[in-house]
Structure formats: structure tokens, C-alpha cells
Structure 1
Amino acid sequence: MISLRHMRRVRYRSSRVSWQSGTNNSKGTLTTFVSRQYATTPIPRRISLAALRRQGLKRSNRHYHDASLSVIPLRYLRILVSNHGTPLLLEVIAPHSTREDDDNTPRILAFSAALKEEGLLSRIIQWCHDFIHSLWEAIQVVLRVSGIAIRMSPLMILSPAAYLTSQVTQNDNNAVSELAWSYFMHVVQHLGPGYVKLCQWVATRRDIFPKVVCDRLSRLHDKGYPHSLQESERILRQAFGDDYDTKLHLERVIGCGSAAQVYQATLMNNNSNNNNHDGSTSSPVAVKILHPGFSRLIEKDLWLLDTVSKWLHEWAPEGSPIQMMNLPRAVQNFGDNLRRQADLTLEGDNLIQFRRNFYGQDEEEGQASSAIFFPQPKPGWVTSNVLVEDLVENATPIAEFLQDNTELGLQTRKDLAGPLLRAFLKMVFQDNFVHSDIHPGNVLIQTTTTEAADNHNLLERLWHQFRKTEADDATTPTTVTKRTIVFLDAGIVTSLDDNDRRNLKDLFRAVILNEGYEAGRLMVERAKYERCSQTEGGVEAFATGVGDIVAEFHDRRKSGLTLGAVRIGSLLGQVLDLCRVHGVEIDPSMASIVISTLVLEGLGRSLEPTLNLMDCAIPFVLGRGKV
């Protein structure tokens, strides 16, 4: 007879094995169906639930945090036990991922057939071990807080001085403000990846934070300090074994961010069936490796941010701007996004899904969306810390094309603007699978040159060869240049639920039909959390505000203005700012898509000022858009 009981601490007795993707009752191996991250994680001979949490699950209040997935509420975690009290199964009863292939079936986290309860002495030793571990973590947090406070201390003088100067001069961009913001940016760059990512995330949440703060933080670049080649080789050995270098040869660093660095490398195809199209047995690849200790460092920073946000929320006056920001919920959302970046298997899965969305089930480039490319992960070469994927050769950042003002350069930019915007609109309205880390550094343009096709028969070619002149040689093209838009860093993707998809489509339809007031009322009615209905006339004020924004946009568009003057991204940004003022909470996924729209619109405006994003969006809103 098996029954559900509350979780209790137990000790697992098992041989030193690796976590496998299947149960083995006779040998007592531990099994996981949660994440492939654990597939190569060795477990100790004696492991308690506390140690299990330290490997991947972190307990915080009433939640267990999986470092590679999302937050699992504690109420969904149970142990199945037999009548004599021997725990058999730790089960996740609720789904914990938003990917489309997940269903509502339970997820088995760990299983063992050889379980014994620990004795009194073992429990005392374990308690002492846990206490020392917790004390050491507390000391590390205190040291971390002290270091941050020392680095930030000059802002205690610069910030008030900047505020007073702004009030006196009526100018927010005065010299003192510039100095304060420059120093703040410098400090953030040196605090670590967690704080860089936090500031970048704050810049995307215009529904929570003031516009001036978001504008400033949007300039923060994701730069990192490269780790050594020896560290990279150690991580590769842990991921693929000591003989990895017989198949994978690192060459040089081609990129470095706050979370990972990227190498150019060569992958050997030992199996003749895996040869490339040109018959070679090797292929150039890009190897993305997380910085050592990245996951551990961000967990400590997230714990600190969570503690501070809860303290500020609890002590802030009722109805104050700090309470309206709902900082604990914002930090939880940020933590979920950051943890996804700490598991490169998720990025590999996202790339595969993007390729299916754009190329079809057969994943053949050059069919439905030949103007768009996503690198393909190499099977068997993806772990939580390492991602090996196609190397994009002959590619340059899209920002370099913005500096070419020649006639040919302007035409090239015009040719790129349409496919770029339509690809993003396809992600939003057709696939509901949106790349949420789009910026000029993550968009490359790959240039390939092929010989021009000759459709003439042999006699015509001979006659043309006999009659042609030097002028003909100068004007007849012998090659064709093709440019493909490449999207990189797909670790963060966004999918809207049915309610938010309906809100987004209704907002676009409102702009098209000039029905902003009705769209505003629907946003309040569908909001998961809002305060404006608690204030007399609050709903009316919010709906009227949305109506005014849409009416102004509609009038400007009808006057025939171009994308440079009529900006749908600006409209969406104003709506988010209105949500912040009136306390209408927008789902973080929708806010992320709005910010991505702002970025894409900015790129489109730089590439082709006469292109109107709304005109591109109408077919996709109606369900008939094509890249």
C-alpha cells in the first residue's frame, strides 16, 4: 500500500553512479525526468534531500528553485512512502515548464529502490554539516553586501546632488546626473553578471519602472571578462569526457558576455555517415561555454535581491510607488529568466524549435524562410554548461550595415528591413515563440556569393560569347549575392498565454480601427492584477488614456507619415507607462514582447525610414502574414 505523506529527510544509499534516464530497481540507481542537466551529475554514495537540493534545488521560503527550469511550489512536492515508512519516490505533481511539449502529467524527480532512514548519529552529523554550510553561506552574503555597499557609497553623494541639480536647472541631462549615471554603470559592470542582467531586465520593464530609468539602463552593454582556456578545457572534460579533444578542437575566442564566452572550434566527424556535403570529415562550429561558477553566483545574488525586495515591499507605505512596483514579484520573474540562461540545454531546444518554425518539420534551410537562419545545435554536444552549434561564417553584425550610406548600402539596408520585421511578427502572431534577447549584437548578416544561373542553351552561349564586347563584360553579372539574417543567443524566449495573446492582438486591432478606449477597458478586465478599479474613475481614466494614445497614432498614420514619425513601439511603450501609473499589471511575457518590438522597430527605422511596422503587422494580425 503506497500513500502520500509530507516530505521528510531521508538518506539515499546507492553506489556511485550517474543519474540515468530510466529506473533500475535492482541496482537502486537514482533517476530523473526533470532536466538533462542531471544526466551527467555524479551523486555521492550517501545523499540526503538537503544534498539533493544543493545539487539543483534551492529552498527559499515555500518554494524549491530548480536552477535550470522554473520555480516549483513546495505544495507540489511529495514523497510516496510505504506502510513501514520507507520513502520510495519524490514526485513533482505539477508541470514546471512553459514549453509546448509539456503536459499536465506528474514529473518524477528521483527514485531509488534501496532507501534507508538515517540513524540518530547520522542526523546529528548531517545537522552540523548543514549548519556549517548555512553559516558559511551567510558569511559570504554579508561579505557580498559589504562589497556592494562600499562600491555604491559614492552614489550617496552623487545621487542627491544630481537630483538637486536637475530641479534647479530643469534639465535631467546635466553634468552631475551624467557623472552619477556613468559611475553607476561602471559599478554594475564590475558587480557581476547577475546585476548586469538585472539592469538590462529593468530596462525592459517600462510597466514597472520610470521611463528615465529604463532609457538609461538600456545603454548598458553585456560585456564580460573571459575565463582562461584551462577553465574551458576543464568544463569540456566534465561534460564530454577526457577524450573530448580528439573530436573537438578549440581555436580562438570570438565573443564574451557576462554569462558565457564563445570559441571558434573544429568538430571532427568520425563516422563517415556524418560527413559534410563537401565530403570533409570536420566542420567549423561555435562552442558556447558558461563562465565557471555562473549558476552559483547568480543564486547568491538572487537570494540577496529577493530578501531586499521583500523588505522594501513590506516596509513601504500603503499605496506608495514602491508597493505599486510589486518588487518581490518582479524579482521572481527576473530570477526565472536568469536561471534559464544558466542552462544551455534550453537554448539548444529553443534553436531547434525556431528552426522548425521557420523551415518546417524537415528543418531544411532555403525553403519557406530562406532569408532567416538559426544555428543548429550539434547532437550529443549540448549540456547545461556547453553548447556546440553551427558556426556562422562570412557574417557581420547588422550594426555595420547602418554605417554604409552609399547607394548600394542604402539598397541593401532596404532589402533587409522587410524580412527582419516580418520574421519578428511571425514569431509573435503565428508561432507564439518569440526571441526575447534581440539587439544589434545578436543579429548578424551572412553574405554568400554564387555564380549567376545561365538559362541559355549551348548555341546561344556560343553566339553570345562571339558577339559580346568589353561593355557587356562590365554590365553582365557573373555572380549573385545573397544576404541572410541570422539570430543568435536564443536562451530567452517568450510565449504568451491565451489571454495575453488576445490582449496584444486587440491592441493592434485597436490601432488599426481606432478603438483604443475599448481596448483599454478590456486590458483592465483581463488583467491578472490591477489597482485602478479600486479608485473612483480609475478604469475610465485608464481607458481614456489608451484611447487618446491610439487616436493620436491613428491620426498620424492616416496623414501618411513614415515609420520614422509613426512608431508602434513608442505607442506600446506609452501604454506600458500608463499601466504603471494606474496600477494595471502586465504579464512579464507581454512586456518582454513590447520591448522586443521597440528594438526591432528601431532597427527597421535605421535600415529603411519609409517602412511602416503597422503595415507589416496587419497581415500577421489577420493570420495571413508571410516572411
Structure 2
Amino acid sequence: MVLAFMLGRGGAVARARPPCRLLRTVHKSQLSTWPRLVPHQALVAHSKLCFDIRARLARDAWTCRNAELLRVFPRILATSPSNESLVQTLRRLIRVALHFAKLLGLALPLALTAPVAYSAGTLMPTVVEHWWELALWLAQYSSPTVMKFLQWASTRRDMFPASFCDRFETFHEHAPMHSWAQTEDALKMAFGDNWRDVLEVDDHPIGSGCIAQVYRGHIKETNEQVAVKVIHPHVKQMVALDLQLLRTFVAIFEVIPTLRWLGGKDSVTEFASLMERQLNLRTEGENLTLFSEHFRNRKGLRFPVPRMDYTTENVLVESFEDGLHFSEIFSQMELPRRKAVARVVLEAYLRMVFLDNFAHGDLHPGNLLFDEQDGGRNSRVSRSEAIRNAGVVVIDAGIVTKLEQQDLRNFVELFHAVATGNGYKAGELIVARSKGRIGPNGAIIPTKCKDLESFCTGMERIVNDALSWRLSLKKVHVGALLRQVMELCCTHEVKLEGKYASIVVSIAVLEAVGRKLDPDIDILAVALPIITQSLVKNICTKRIKMTQSTPLDAALQLFTSVQETEVSAQSKTKPVVALSLPQEPDRKQKRELQKLIAPLAFLFRGRDDITLLLSSKEMEASSLTVFKDGEELTTVTTEGELKDRVNKLVQHIGWSPDCPDETQLHNYLSPINAEELLGDVAAFTATTGQRDYVANAANVSSIIWHAFTEAERPINWAGFYFVRPLANPKETDHDHILILGPFMGKPACSRIRFQSGVCGAAWRTKSVQRIKDVHEFPGHIACDDASESELVVPVFDKQGEVIALIDLDCPQKNGFSAEDERTFVEVARVMSEACDWGNVGLPYTQP
């Protein structure tokens, strides 16, 4: 409306009354409709716009006046905001040097007097006390980043002395404060000169952090009690100097080649991104909104509600949350409440990281408030009720960690390997997913592990040592574990991903809270179900389609290694399929080899009419060649369609026991990914600790269904039948019956007798039934008329008796291959071992 008015009255009016001044006039008038139509931030936005316009005009005028000088010295002075001049570079370097000198000057008195304080010891405690007071006083004048480090360090009583932690833990709630006059300046900038018409703010802060301080206040219009957070003056410039100093130190450290593999540059970049986001309080308001949304239906944890219509870059207005700080209530909390709070905070953080991919990055004790409703004194409540009523409020959400989708998948897979005790696989994942480091010339230097076997074995040792204590905080020190991992990476020249640095730091901060609340908490028991959920959410349901399902090693085991000269000679007795591969294949050549051999393995398995040979020679790519009577008949590479390659080989070696004719070829051209399917089944059964057979059968049914769907293989039913004893069997009945379990697909037969259908046959014979055409099977039960073929696999108990059946139906004839059969025999084995089958023995009463 204001802009329309200006444009309608012409340039003279605009010159006479600039936009910001006009808006200020309107704001002062407090017309009845304007407070609702014009947000308070509009004044600030237009003021900044006018300032930018004036600055640009002044810069253009200066450039015109000094055009001749700029032609002579084009790079001495900047001609655009994005182009840093030599003068600006020099000014920046001088500022960084002065900042470093300041920090050095603050540290020097402590360093010089430290030997005296140490020598005094218990003989002169007042000297030691004065030394710590000096350290605390000097730290207040250091920088926001140094104070942020001291905040974290004071929580780590396992790493730093108690005297250090006792002094510097005051920074959690009472960091250095700025004056009320400076707060008024920030409020004027946010809401105008008449900010008191908008907010009523107490002039005494209720808390202060490294970045901002907080006041109690009220919104005049609604009389709502709020917390008003105001950023410290000059903190942005101070943080910028700190980050530049960190970058300089990292550049100096990385002169040592071994230290480059720690990913220091990436870690500083990630840390800088976190700190810079924290300097914009609107970003914190948006973070709080997202956290509230994520935890809307989760018990025990909540976040303040931001008032975004009153929030600017330097001022945040949010709901006022009553509660006691960690230090005030800790000594009064009974053990059940402490354990409940520890579990709530740990579980909430793990959900943030692994399920939401949006985690609070600064969960130190000063950012946790506890409800006063039971004061933490009620020890008579049950554990579940204590968890439900934990009443933890998380504040200060300026720092959050979030990973790109691919980085999240890599991180989840790595943590799942660690949590399940597979340290060797964790080592392989670190090497495989490492993106290399940036060299001096800017080129990416790929990770080349000096000794992969030794590195993976070292990771396995570290993980086994940690898991031997079930990751109890009393026994396991995360800092020590991280140090061991970093030393291992440096030794073997494996680059750690800097993108994970922010999460690792926040885990270290959170560890301190958990160590105080419940040092005996079993992290593994809390983490593993959440990590498994994330594994399925981020990996199992977002699989990249693969064209082969047989692992390379299994395919290569079909071939016998010989010298190249023997290949032709052996073909005189029967046809030879010779696999030729490079002598020392690199990673790319191995991928090509898998692409060549894995999809064709079904043609070679179980063959005694051909000879399978393998030879190595100097060559770029692998190939398959058919020899007969000493002559070369055809050669197959990775080029062309899979079906064409199959037909080319079949012309000379015929079909195989796995695929006896062309009618079953479609099952091998679109195979299910057996390796991923089995991994998913294990993830939802064996590694979750879930032992209920019904719950596991439900998840496995879904996994099977989606495995076929992703492979674009037709399937119309996938599920389980359980063998149950009959309560009152008739004389003509068997004493057990098959009862329908969890499934995917159309409604099915709820009961199947011992002598009926394909399922009954698998039960009676204790063997797999792979039926090409169900209409030709005697006694077939047609639960779904669309079914044309069927695969039934028995699940055995420890006594070797059939306890359940996996039943799959396909709407096409020859819908299942021999490879499918082998895969689901393995699924049945996993289900047998992962479930408690006791309840399945309860008698079933027939209707």
C-alpha cells in the first residue's frame, strides 16, 4: 500500500519523504487497522533497503570520481561488493592478526602463572582459587567460539579436572552480558523507536549465552508472556574472526601430510556453517517451529513456540517456558526421575539424528529446563510414568545438524554396522564412502588405504571393545573412542568425512548430560531400534535398482582358475566358457566384472556338460568366451542388453538346470536383489531384538512384497502360515492345522489342512514347493483365481519340525526361479533363528 502510494504521487513525493520515513510515520500513527496489516519487521526491512540504496549510490559516485585511479590500480580498491580488494584483504588479515594477539595476550598471564598455581597445590589453596578466578575473568573477554568450547569442556568431567568444570560451567547460564542500553538499541532496530508500544521487557536479563541474552517480557496486544532473546552486539564480527583464525590454524596443521586425512578443513567449514546460522535469530525461530512439529506426538520433550511475526535477525520472541536449570534441580532428582530424563533426552536426540535428520546441535545442560510440577522429588512413580512425565524443555535451537540424503544414508549404514558389532564392515564403509581430500592445487586426492585389512581389523577391535560394555557411559568414553578412530585413520591415510563433525561434536556434548543423569544407561538398547528404523526408512525403502543380485564372489566360485594356455586344450572334450579378467583389477574393473558375470551366473550353476575356467591376463576389461573343439565360438562383454548376451551364450552352451527354457528367462532378467532383501530381513528381525514371530512375519511380508515390486517382478500374494495344534481334533483330522499369519495381497484362506494344497504339501514333505503352474498341481486351493504359480518354503524349529510356511503367489506361470528358491530358504532360516515360537504352540479351536 505504501509503495503504491509513493508510485502514484510521483518522484517528487518519494524524494521529499523516503520510504523508510513514510513507513515510520504510518507506524507512529498506530491506525486501528495498520498493526494487523503491516508486520513490525516491515520498518526494519525498508530501513535496510534505504540504507543499501544510499550505500550503492555513494559507492557509484566514489567510483566515478576515482575512475582514473582505478584504471591505474584496478585491484587495489574493490569495485563491487563481491570482489575483495587488496586493501580489504589486508584489513581482514590485520584484524585476524590483532584478534589472535588479543587471545594470546589473554592466555599469556594464565600460562605464566600456571606453574605457581600448580606448585601451590593444597598448601596455598587461596592462590589456586585466585588463579581460577583470573582464568574465568579473562575467558569472559576472549571470544564467542572460545566460550562455546569452554561450555562444552566444562561438561566433560571425564576429560577435564573438577576444578576446571566447576568454574566454567557458569557459562551454561551466565555468560558475559551486554548492557540494557545496547538491548534497547536492538529493540529499536527491530520494532522502531516506539518499541515499548509493542513489547514490555524487563530490564534485567534472566540468562545469557555466548551469542545472545534473554529477557522476560509481554506482548502488549495479547498480554502473552514471552521470552525475548537479543543478540550480543559485535558478536557476528567476533565469530567471523574466530572462524578465520580456525581456518588459518587448519591450513598450518595440514602442512603435515598425515593430519590432512582428519578432514580438518571440511570440519571447520561445517562448524562455520553452524555458527553462522546461529547468528540469525530468525533461523532459530524456524528451527523451533520444525522441532515442535517433529515432537508434536512424542512424549517427554517439548520446545518453545516462536512468535515469527515479532522475530527479526537480531531479536527472537518465543513463548516463556517455566522450569529449573539442570544445575538447580540435579541434586534434588531421585534416581527414577534421573533415569527417565536420561532415556528421554537420549532417545529424542537419536530420533532427531536418524529419523528426522534435523538434530539439536547444542544439548549442553544449560539448554535443558525441567518442569517444576513434581520437582523431580516423586520417586514412587513407575518407570513408564516417569518417562511420560519427564517434562524436559529444550531451548536455544540456533545450532542444528542436517545431512544431505546420501550422506545420511552413509551415516546410518556406518552406525548400524557399529551398533550391530560389525566393526570390520564399518571399516570397509569408511573407506568406500570416503570422498578423498583436497590437494594443494585444488584437485581431489582419492582415499587410498595403505592396508585395508589392517584398517578394518583395527575398526573391528575398537567396536568390539566398546560393545563389550554395551556402550554404558560409565565404562565407555566417547572421546577416547574418537581419538582411537582418528589415530587409525591417520595411520592408514583414510579421510574422515568432515560433514559428520557437527554430529560427532553434538554427541560429545550430549554424552556429558547422560553421564550425569544415568551413567549405567544401555545406549545400545536405546539406539539400535531407532537406527534400524532409519536404516529401513532411508535405505531399504529407497534402494537404487540393481541389475544383478548374485554377489561377485559367489559367481567367481563357479569357475576354476587355470593358465590361459590350458583353455583351448580343455575345450576338446566338452565346451568351455572362459572368463578372462585383468591381472590386478581396480575398483572400476571389479564393478565391470560384477556387471558381466553376476547376471549370467544362472546359466553356469549346476552344469556338468560344460567346463568353467578362469584366467588372468593383461587386458582392460573382462570378457566371457565360449570354446569348442579348440576353436573360439563367441565372446560376451558388458556391452549390449542382458537378454542379447544370454541368447548369444545359449546358442552354444544351451540352457541350464536353473533356467531350463526361455519361459523362465524373465525371472533372471529382472531378479530381486537377494543381498538387499536378506539384509532388510536381518535388519528387522535379528538386529532389532524383536523376537515376536507375528511382528517379524508382518515386516518380512512387507519386505518381500517390495523386493518384487522394486524388481518389477509380478507378485499377488506374500505372507505366512503358522502350524498350530488343534484343540479338539476329529478322528479324520491331523492334530495340527495351518493358520493364516501376516501377509500382503488379497484376502486368503484362513485355515489349510495337512493334506490340502501346495502349502499342505510343503508341510507334509518338509520341502520347498516351487510350482510352475498351480492348475496342474493336484489338490491346489484357489484362494485367488489370479494365481498361476506358487513358491512355498517351510520354516523349521530347533527340532527340525515345520513351524511356519512362507507362501508366495505369482499371476504368471513360471513366476519363481531356482535363485528365488535359494533366497527364500535363507529368509526362512533367518526367521527361524530370530523368533520365539513358543506361543505358536497354543491350541487352536476350530469354529
- 1:404/1:410 contact within 8 Å kept: no
Residue 392 (structure 1) aligned with residue 321 (structure 2): yes
Q: What is the aligned partner in structure 2 of residue 193 from structure 1?
A: 144
- Match of residue 216, structure 2, among 244, 254, 264: 264
Counterpart CA distance in 1 for 2:140 and 2:407 is 34
Q: CA deviation at 1:564?
A: 3.1
- Residue by residue over 1:25-48, the C-alpha shift from the partner in whole angstroms, topping out at 9 and shown as x without a partner, is xxxxxxxxxx99967524347557
Q: What is the aligned partner in structure 2 of residue 553 from structure 1?
A: 466
Counterpart CA distance in 2 for 1:240 and 1:503 is 45
Show the 5 A alignment for 1:120-519: 120-121=64-65, 123=67, 134=88, 140=95, 143-154=98-109, 187-197=138-148, 221=171, 224-251=175-202, 252-269=204-221, 281-307=222-248, 309-310=250-251, 312-313=252-253, 316=255, 318-319=256-257, 321=259, 323-324=260-261, 328-359=265-296, 368-393=297-322, 395-404=323-332, 409-448=334-373, 482-519=389-426
Counterpart CA distance in 1 for 2:318 and 2:398 is 13
Question: Aligned letter for 1:348?
Answer: G
Question: Secondary structure of 1:43's match?
Answer: helix
Question: Percent identity among equivalent residues?
Answer: 31
Question: Aligned letter for 1:529?
Answer: G
In structure 2, relative to structure 1, the CA distance for the partners of 1:426 and 1:128 (3 Å cut) is closer
- Compare CA radii of gyration and give the structure with the larger one: 2
Counterpart CA distance in 1 for 2:530 and 2:46 is 41
- Residue by residue over 1:75-106, the C-alpha shift from the partner in whole angstroms, topping out at 9 and shown as x without a partner, is xxxxxxxxxxxxxxxxxxxxxxxxxxxxxxxx
- Residue by residue over 1:122-158, the C-alpha shift from the partner in whole angstroms, topping out at 9 and shown as x without a partner, is 5469987988984766665554444344334457768
In structure 2, relative to structure 1, the CA distance for the partners of 1:496 and 1:202 (3 Å cut) is farther
Counterpart CA distance in 2 for 1:508 and 1:326 is 19
Question: Secondary structure of 1:414's match?
Answer: helix
- 1:514/1:551 contact within 8 Å kept: yes
Counterpart CA distance in 1 for 2:310 and 2:147 is 28
- Which deviates the most, 572-581 or 230-239? 572-581
Q: CA deviation at 1:448?
A: 3.4
- 1:579/1:586 contact within 8 Å kept: yes
Q: CA deviation at 1:570?
A: 6.3
- Which deviates the most, 609-618 or 482-491? 609-618
- Match of residue 586, structure 1, among 490, 493, 496: 496
Question: Aligned letter for 1:43?
Answer: C
Q: What is the aligned partner in structure 2 of residue 41 from structure 1?
A: 48
Q: What is the aligned partner in structure 1 of residue 588 from structure 2?
A: none
By relative contact order (CA 8 Å, sep 6+), the higher-ranking structure is: 1
Counterpart CA distance in 2 for 1:178 and 1:505 is 46
- 1:231/1:292 contact within 8 Å kept: yes
Question: Secondary structure of 1:617's match?
Answer: helix
- 1:347/1:489 contact within 8 Å kept: yes
Q: CA deviation at 1:118?
A: 8.0
Q: CA deviation at 1:610?
A: 4.3
- 1:260/1:290 contact within 8 Å kept: yes
Q: CA deviation at 1:616?
A: 1.0
Q: CA deviation at 1:485?
A: 0.9
Question: Secondary structure of 1:448's match?
Answer: coil
Question: Secondary structure of 1:540's match?
Answer: helix
Question: Aligned letter for 2:309?
Answer: G
Question: Aligned letter for 2:234?
Answer: G
Q: CA deviation at 1:262?
A: 0.6
Question: Secondary structure of 1:622's match?
Answer: helix
Gaps spanning 5+ residues in structure 1: where? 1-13, 20-34, 53-115, 167-175, 205-210, 270-280, 360-367, 451-479
Question: Secondary structure of 2:372's match?
Answer: strand
Question: Secondary structure of 1:150's match?
Answer: helix
Question: Aligned letter for 2:370?
Answer: I
Counterpart CA distance in 2 for 1:484 and 1:266 is 24
Residue 613 (structure 1) aligned with residue 523 (structure 2): yes
Question: Aligned letter for 1:378?
Answer: R
Gaps spanning 5+ residues in structure 2: where? 1-13, 22-41, 71-75, 80-84, 120-126, 376-385, 438-444, 535-687, 689-847
In structure 2, relative to structure 1, the CA distance for the partners of 1:439 and 1:124 (3 Å cut) is farther
Counterpart CA distance in 2 for 1:192 and 1:50 is 35
Question: Secondary structure of 2:210's match?
Answer: coil
Question: Aligned letter for 1:234?
Answer: D
Counterpart CA distance in 1 for 2:52 and 2:409 is 52
- 2:462/2:481 contact within 8 Å kept: yes
Counterpart CA distance in 1 for 2:484 and 2:58 is 48
Question: Secondary structure of 2:207's match?
Answer: strand
Counterpart CA distance in 2 for 1:151 and 1:373 is 40
- Residue by residue over 1:264-315, the C-alpha shift from the partner in whole angstroms, topping out at 9 and shown as x without a partner, is 111122xxxxxxxxxxx411111110111221233344344444544x257x
- Match of residue 485, structure 2, among 560, 571, 575: 575
Counterpart CA distance in 1 for 2:63 and 2:446 is 57
Q: What is the aligned partner in structure 2 of residue 63 from structure 1?
A: none
Q: CA deviation at 1:216?
A: 8.3
- 1:494/1:593 contact within 8 Å kept: yes
Question: Secondary structure of 1:384's match?
Answer: coil
In structure 2, relative to structure 1, the CA distance for the partners of 1:340 and 1:40 (3 Å cut) is farther
Superposition TM-score, scaled by structure 2 size: 0.47
Question: Aligned letter for 1:151?
Answer: L
In structure 2, relative to structure 1, the CA distance for the partners of 1:182 and 1:580 (3 Å cut) is farther
Counterpart CA distance in 2 for 1:189 and 1:212 is 19
- 1:40/1:239 contact within 8 Å kept: no
Counterpart CA distance in 2 for 1:37 and 1:518 is 54
- 1:36/1:383 contact within 8 Å kept: no
Counterpart CA distance in 1 for 2:512 and 2:286 is 28
Q: What is the aligned partner in structure 1 of residue 696 from structure 2?
A: none
- Residue by residue over 1:475-526, the C-alpha shift from the partner in whole angstroms, topping out at 9 and shown as x without a partner, is xxxxx99541111110010012234323433333324432111111111110
Question: Secondary structure of 2:362's match?
Answer: coil
